[in-house]
Amino acid sequence: MSDAQQTQATNHSTGLGAMLRHAREAAGLSQAELARQLNLGARIVEAMEQEDLQTLPGAVYVHGYLRKWAEYLQLDEQQLLQAYTRMAGELRNNNMRHTTPIEPMRMKKPGSNFPWYKLLFFIGIVGLGLFATRFLPESMRLIVTAQETPANTVPNAQSSTPVLPSIPLLPPPEAKPTVPPVATTPGIVVGESLTPANTVQAVQAPITPTTPSAAPSLPGLELKGLGNAQGSWVRVKDADARVIFEGILAPGNSKQLDGKRPFEITIGRASELGVTLDGTNVDLKPYARSADKAFIPKLGSAPSP
Amino acid sequence: MGLWNVAQHEALPKTQGIVTVRNLVKFTPVQSIFIKSLISVNQYLMFKNLFGMFSADLSIDLGTANTLIYMRGKNIVLDEPSVVAIRQDGGQSAIQAFGIEAKKMLGRTPKNISAVRPLRDGVIADFHVTEKMLQHFIRKVHGTGLLRPSPRVLVCVPVGATQVERRAIRESVLGAGARKAYLIEEPMAAAIGAGINVDEPRGSMVVDIGGGTSEVAVISLDGIVYSASVRIGGDKFDDAIISYVRRNYGMLIGEATAERIKKDIGCAYPGRDLREIEVKGRNLAEGVPRSFTLNSNEILEALQEPLYGIVQAVRTALEQTPPELGSDIAEYGIVLTGGGALLHDLDRLLMEETGLPVIVADDPLTCVARGGGRVLELIDERYSPLFSVE
Does the CB of A41 have a partner CB in chain B at under 8 Å?
yes
Query: pLDDT exceeding 70 applies to what percent of chain A?
Result: 57
At residue A159, the pLDDT reads 44
Q: In the predicted model, is pLDDT for residue B237 greater than 90? A: yes
Gyration radius from chain A CA atoms: 49
Chain B residue numbers touching A108 (CB-CB < 8 A): 383
Q: Do A60 and B333 touch (CB under 8 A)?
A: no
Cα B241 to Cα B267: distance, rounded to the nearest angstrom: 12
| 3 state SS of B355 | coil
At residue B360, the pLDDT reads 93
Q: In the predicted model, is pLDDT for residue A44 greater than 90? A: no
Residues in chain A: 305
- pLDDT per residue as tens digits for the range A57-103: 888 888 888 888 888 888 888 888 888 888 777 555 554 444 444 34
Nearest CA-CA distance, residue A66 and chain B, Å: 10
- pLDDT per residue as tens digits for the range B199-231: 888 999 999 999 889 999 999 988 899 999 999
At residue B146, the pLDDT reads 65
Mutate to test the interface with B, among A34, A36, A43, A61 (most CBs of B within 10 A): A61
Rounded to 5 degrees, φ, ψ at A233 are: -80, 140
CB contacts < 8 A, A to B, total: 74
At residue B276, the pLDDT reads 92
Query: Among B333, B356, B383, whose Cβ lies nearest the Cβ of A109?
Result: B383
Decide: B133 and B66 in contact? Cβ < 8 Å.
no
Chain B residue numbers touching A60 (CB-CB < 8 A): 194-196, 335, 359, 361-362
Query: Among A61, A63, A103, whose Cβ lies nearest the Cβ of B382?
Result: A103
- Between positions 65 and 104 of A, the ones with CB within 8 A of B are 65, 67-68, 95, 98-103
Q: Do A58 and B382 touch (CB under 8 A)?
A: no
Q: In the predicted model, is pLDDT for residue A146 greater than 90? A: no
Nearest CA-CA distance, residue A44 and chain B, Å: 8
**Kind and range of the H or E element at B306?**
helix B304-320
**Smallest CA–CA distance from B352 into chain A, residue:** A39
Q: Do B359 and A65 touch (CB under 8 A)?
A: yes
Which of A167-171, B51-55, B357-361 shows the highest mean pLDDT? B357-361
Query: Among B199, B200, B362, whose Cβ lies nearest the Cβ of A60?
Result: B362
**Kind and range of the H or E element at B240?**
helix B234-249
| Interface pTM, i.e. ipTM | 0.74
- pLDDT per residue as tens digits for the range B145-187: 666 778 889 999 998 889 999 999 999 999 988 888 889 999 9
Does the CB of B222 have a partner CB in chain A at under 8 Å?
yes
**Smallest CA–CA distance from A106 into chain B, residue:** B384
At residue A54, the pLDDT reads 79
Query: pLDDT confidence of A105, banded at 50, 70, 90?
Result: very low
Query: Among B357, B378, B385, whose Cβ lies nearest the Cβ of A39?
Result: B357
Rounded to 5 degrees, φ, ψ at B184 are: -140, 150
Does the CB of B380 have a partner CB in chain A at under 8 Å?
no
Does the CB of B273 have a partner CB in chain A at under 8 Å?
no
Mutate to test the interface with A, among B197, B337, B354, B376 (most CBs of A within 10 A): B197
Q: In the predicted model, is pLDDT for residue A211 greater than 80? A: no
Q: In the predicted model, is pLDDT for residue B240 greater than 90? A: yes
- pLDDT per residue as tens digits for the range A238-257: 878 888 888 887 777 777 77
- Quick one: how far is CA B219 from the chain centroid? 22
Does the CB of B26 have a partner CB in chain A at under 8 Å?
no
Average the pLDDT over B21-28 and give the result. Answer: 57
Average the pLDDT over B66-76 and give the result. Answer: 89
Chain B residue numbers touching A92 (CB-CB < 8 A): none
Average the pLDDT over B264-274 and give the result. Answer: 88
Chain A residue numbers touching B382 (CB-CB < 8 A): 101, 103, 106-107, 109
Q: In the predicted model, is pLDDT for residue A220 greater than 80? A: no
At residue A113, the pLDDT reads 57
Q: In the predicted model, is pLDDT for residue B54 greater than 90? A: no
Q: In the predicted model, is pLDDT for residue B299 greater than 90? A: yes
At residue B383, the pLDDT reads 55
- Between positions 175 and 214 of A, the ones with CB within 8 A of B are none
At residue A108, the pLDDT reads 45
CA dist B258 → B107, B115, B209, B301 (Å):
12, 17, 18, 14
Which of A182-191, A194-203, B126-135 shows the highest mean pLDDT? B126-135
Query: Among B196, B198, B382, whose Cβ lies nearest the Cβ of A109?
Result: B382
Question: What does pTM read for this prediction?
Answer: 0.61
Does the CB of B190 have a partner CB in chain A at under 8 Å?
no
Q: In the predicted model, is pLDDT for residue B245 greater than 80? A: yes
Q: In the predicted model, is pLDDT for residue A276 greater than 90? A: no
Query: Among A41, A65, A107, whose Cβ lies nearest the Cβ of B384?
Result: A107
Query: pLDDT confidence of B278, banded at 50, 70, 90?
Result: very high
Mutate to test the interface with A, among B344, B363, B383, B387 (most CBs of A within 10 A): B383
Q: In the predicted model, is pLDDT for residue B385 greater than 90? A: no
Q: In the predicted model, is pLDDT for residue B144 greater than 90? A: no
Does the CB of B357 have a partner CB in chain A at under 8 Å?
yes
